Homo-oligomer: A and B are copies of this chain.
């Protein structure tokens, strides 16, 4: 993006405006309980918004370092969950809001278990659950984890750490209370020191935005693409932020702002809308509850303005069904004879094609499955295409597996295409189908190949005597339809027979068009090379058909390659011979051109029909 103001994104404009609007808000005071924090410039003010697609927008002092303080709590809690598992962590730290202030001790009267990991007692208990043989290795693991969330290497602010440690008597008291209840099993001081250190990690507002977006993105940093926290624990981290993150303001926060959030006394705030974005705000002036005044105000404004409340979401059920058709309307790129094409028009509604897209989870998969169940009467073959699916979760896999078993029990076929990009589906099917996996989980590279497979089976069952592989006598050529025996006798000697090996390139891209090819034996495919070496199939011809005629007619260089799919024999009609016919055999030339035009009409009708359906 260029830097001239006109070329700045409207989202960036909005953030700049937001920064100007709230820069005048000078309520509150910089924290002084740790001497180092009191040195902050009260006017510092940064805003950073990061989407789950990895775009970072920032305004103001977004690069100013400050200490993370209590915003470290949810992240360290996440590491504790990774290290110890959910059960063991829940035994040591509860998840109930207290309705009390941030520095209340709030231990469960019976068990001494801190009520939640967002109060200091719960955070110190969480720090005590971090794996590592030495204090230094535990600190390093916390720094590494926070760095993964931020997407850059973070380090301690030593001055703040020393200041925290020198004044942290209340937290030492909490440490010994936790030791007293056996929540901390050994000397509590290392856990308390680790807690001081995690609070003293130096971050910027930009870091906070990216860290928040990482939580919004199921633990994957959307800028670096690296997993910072195992996905299964993200919901737990966000839950404690949602229910306890803003201390005695938690209920009102979720009511008004509607995003899990956490603040720190250095003036940072993060807020997270799962699946959407993360927000980081930095402004050191705090309110009486210890929250950044501008931080709260900006989150409130952004949530209202951008409609970010987690409980105000539109229905997503229909969003994964991109396109639905039957083989009466959309067909494979296997070129069919007129007779075959008629049969597909007539019986093609037994083949259903669904192109899925976006995110597949329970409700979006349910919508697909319901559509299928409602059209069971006509359905014999179902193709589910996953090529442009963004994500797929286990509950969607389960539903598709159950659909597969159900269709199989009814004698119907389910085919999956483009599913390679989602290894989860394959793993799930393998685990669930066991010995039936090989026969039941029918996978095709793309929907074109799957359609062809279904069409061929349908033609086999609906056209008596139809056979997939065949050879053509010259008189059978579509291009010679309507020719008298005498006309055939005059045109056939003009043809030149050529043979090709399997996979031999018959026509190269860019070649001048010198011949029309009549396919006597075997099959050929028109292919377009793609980026990355793959080849996209545009058409497949079988014996009796003509190919390569378009470039001969419009004199364009060859626009795609044509490759022999098998041993192939062709009869070539040269451009010269074709032109000679004008004078020598005008009637034959007219019949040839009429047949060529007829073939083009058929192809154009098919393409137009498919275009209309795809739009």
List residues of A whose CB falls within 8 A of some B CB.
1-2, 6-7, 9-11, 13-14, 51-53, 55, 94-99, 115-116, 216-218, 222, 231, 234-236, 238-240, 242-244, 248, 250-252, 254-255, 258, 260, 274-277, 305-319, 322, 357-359, 361-363, 366-367, 369-370, 373-374, 376, 390-391, 393-395, 398-399, 402-403, 406, 409-410, 528, 536, 538, 550, 553-554, 559, 582, 586-587, 589-590, 593-594, 596-598, 600-605, 607-608, 610-612, 614-615
Q: What are the 3 tightest A-B residue pairs by CB atom distance, in nearest-first order?
A: A586-B586, A10-B402, A275-B313
Question: Which B residues touch A409, using CB under 8 A?
Answer: 6
Contact B395 A306 (CB under 8 A): yes
Minimum CB–CB distance for A247 against chain B, Å: 10
Given A251-B244, A318-B53, A608-B538, also A590-B597 (CB < 8 A):
no
12 further A-B pairs in the complex, CB-CB below 8 A; given A310-B310, A536-B612, A554-B601: A11-B399, A98-B99, A217-B315, A239-B255, A244-B251, A276-B362, A307-B362, A308-B362, A314-B393, A318-B390, A358-B358, A586-B587
Bound CA span A204–B559, Å: 65
| Cβ contact of A594, chosen from B243, B250, B593, cutoff 8 A | B593
Minimum CB–CB distance for A289 against chain B, Å: 12
Question: Which B residues touch A538, using CB under 8 A?
Answer: 608, 612
Contact B312 A234 (CB under 8 A): yes
Question: Which B residues touch A313, using CB under 8 A?
Answer: 218, 274-275
Minimum CB–CB distance for A314 against chain B, Å: 4
Minimum CB–CB distance for A105 against chain B, Å: 15
Contact B307 A394 (CB under 8 A): yes
Bound CA span A597–B608, Å: 17
Given A239-B258, A274-B311, A315-B217, also A251-B95 (CB < 8 A):
yes
Q: So how many copies of this chain end up in the complex?
A: 2
Contact A250 B10 (CB under 8 A): no
Minimum CB–CB distance for A206 against chain B, Å: 17
Given A251-B96, A251-B97, A274-B313, also A319-B319 (CB < 8 A):
yes
Bound CA span A587–B583, Å: 8
Of chain B, the residue at the smallest CB distance from A308 is B362
Question: Which B residues touch A94, using CB under 8 A?
Answer: 251-252
Contact B1 A374 (CB under 8 A): yes
Of chain B, the residue at the smallest CB distance from A448 is B615
Minimum CB–CB distance for A25 against chain B, Å: 21
Bound CA span A614–B388, Å: 12
Bound CA span A243–B402, Å: 36
Question: Which B residues touch A359, using CB under 8 A?
Answer: 314-316, 319
Question: Which B residues touch A13, using CB under 8 A?
Answer: 402, 406
Bound CA span A55–B369, Å: 12
Given A218-B312, A612-B536, also A254-B277 (CB < 8 A):
no
Contact B311 A239 (CB under 8 A): yes
14 CB contacts below 8 A, A to B, read A51-B317, A52-B316, A53-B315, A55-B366, A234-B312, A306-B395, A307-B361, A307-B393, A315-B359, A322-B322, A586-B590, A603-B604, A611-B611, A614-B615
Bound CA span A312–B237, Å: 10
Of chain B, the residue at the smallest CB distance from A258 is B235
| Cβ contact of A406, chosen from B6, B216, B252, cutoff 8 A | B6
Bound CA span A596–B599, Å: 12
Bound CA span A277–B314, Å: 11
Bound CA span A255–B116, Å: 11
Residue from A11, A98, A374, A610 having most chain B Cβ neighbours under 10 A: A11
Question: Which B residues touch A235, using CB under 8 A?
Answer: 258, 309, 311-312
Contact B95 A96 (CB under 8 A): no
Bound CA span A238–B598, Å: 63
| Cβ contact of A99, chosen from B96, B317, B598, B610, cutoff 8 A | B96
Question: Which B residues touch A238, using CB under 8 A?
Answer: 311
Contact A582 B593 (CB under 8 A): no
Contact B9 A369 (CB under 8 A): yes
Of chain B, the residue at the smallest CB distance from A602 is B554
